[in-house]
Structure 1
Amino acid sequence: MRVIAWLVEGTWPACVDAVRAHVPRDAEVVLLHVSERGVPGLAHGAFAGLLGRGHPERDPGTRLEDLGTTSADALMEAAARRLDGPCARLERGGRVEREVVAAAAGADLLVLARDGNRDRLGPHSLGPAGRFVVDHAPCPVLLVWPEPAPDLTTLPPPPGRG
């Protein structure tokens, strides 16, 4: 059994805990983190266009790339420690939602946390990236709440009653 756990800052502990609770210990677990490549590129472009090309050591895009790599490494390390079992680590870069779907090809399960409004039950608890992944995942999906789920009183009213 091959399981992918999509790790995102702020919600990754819930994904790791779900793997520990619902996945056999002998499963092949892959911790996945995806970095959006567009942000450092925008900073590189702004620096080159506005400030010139004479001082590459001042390029904020390079600094953002370094910070992103350091942050991703720390997140993956913390997740591996929390999992407390064998796992592989996979770092990808690009359009996050598409990279997650591509990484899930051939997996038996994809674990992800809700990434939208978590104050109430309903479809808005999934943000655009999470919704895309849930709609397009090529394998079964385990969708978890990063904190206790909201009370049932937060359900939207039935159609025609609200």
Structure 2
Amino acid sequence: MSVVVWIVEATWPACVDAARTHATADADIVLLHVTTHDVPGAAHGAFAGLLGRGHPELDPGTRMENLAAASAQQLLRAAADRLGRPCQRTERIGRVEREVVAAAEGADLLILARDGDRTHLGPHSVGPASRFVVDHAPCPVLLVWPEPAPGLTTMPPRPPRPPHHG
């Protein structure tokens, strides 16, 4: 069994705990973190546009890339420690939702957490990137709550029934 666990800053403990609970003892577990290239890319562009290209050592985008890589490594290390068993740690850079889907190719299970409005049951508890992943994953998906799920009273009301003509 191959399990990919999407590690995101705010919700990773719940995903790791789900892997500990649901992955078989012999499963190959991949802890996956994806860093978007948007922020460092914007910093590179702003630097080039505003200050020119004469001093690349001053480019803030490079510093942001280094900080993002260090943060990802630290997060993956913490997740591996919490998992408490051998695993592979993978870092990717790109469009987050597409990188997660690509990383799940060939996996038997993908684990991710709800990242939207977690105060109510319903579709808004899943953010846009996670919705894309759920909709496009090439394998079964385990979608977990990062904290206890809200009660059934938070479920959106039933839509009104159209009148029956007949």
Q: What TM-score, normalized to structure 2?
A: 0.94
Structure 2 gap ranges (5+): 162-166
Give the Cα separation in 2 of the matches to 1:30 and 1:126. 22
Q: Which runs of 5+ in 1 are unaligned?
A: none
Residue identity over aligned pairs, in percent, reads 73
Shift of residue 137, structure 1, vs aligned partner: 0.5
- Equivalent residue, structure 1, for 2:37: 37
Cα deviations across residues 128-153 of structure 1 (Å, max 9, x unaligned)?
A: 00000000111000000011111111
1:12 paired with 2:3, answer no
Distance 2:62 2:37 in 1: 12
Matches within 5 A, 1:3-152: 3-152=3-152
Deviations 1:90-124 (A, max 9, x none): 11111110110111010000000011111100000
Aligned residues: 161
- Tell me, what secondary structure is at the counterpart of 2:112? strand
Q: Hey, what's the Cα distance between the residues in 1 that align with 2:78 and 2:65?
A: 20
For the Cα contact (< 8 Å) 1:25–1:85, is it kept in 2?
Answer: no
> Which secondary structure does the structure 2 equivalent of 1:25 belong to?
coil
Deviation (angstroms), 1:58:
2.0
1:160: Cα distance to partner? Answer: 1.4
Give, in angstroms, the shift of residue 75 of structure 1: 0.3
Q: Deviations over 1:35-93 (max 9, x none)?
A: 10121111011001101223322211011101100100000000000000010011111
SS in 2 for 1:8: coil
Secondary structure at the residue paired with 1:92? strand
Letter of the aligned partner of 1:50 in structure 2?
L
TM-score (norm: length of structure 1): 0.96
Query: Could you say which structure has the larger radius of gyration?
Result: 2
Moved over 6 A (4+): none
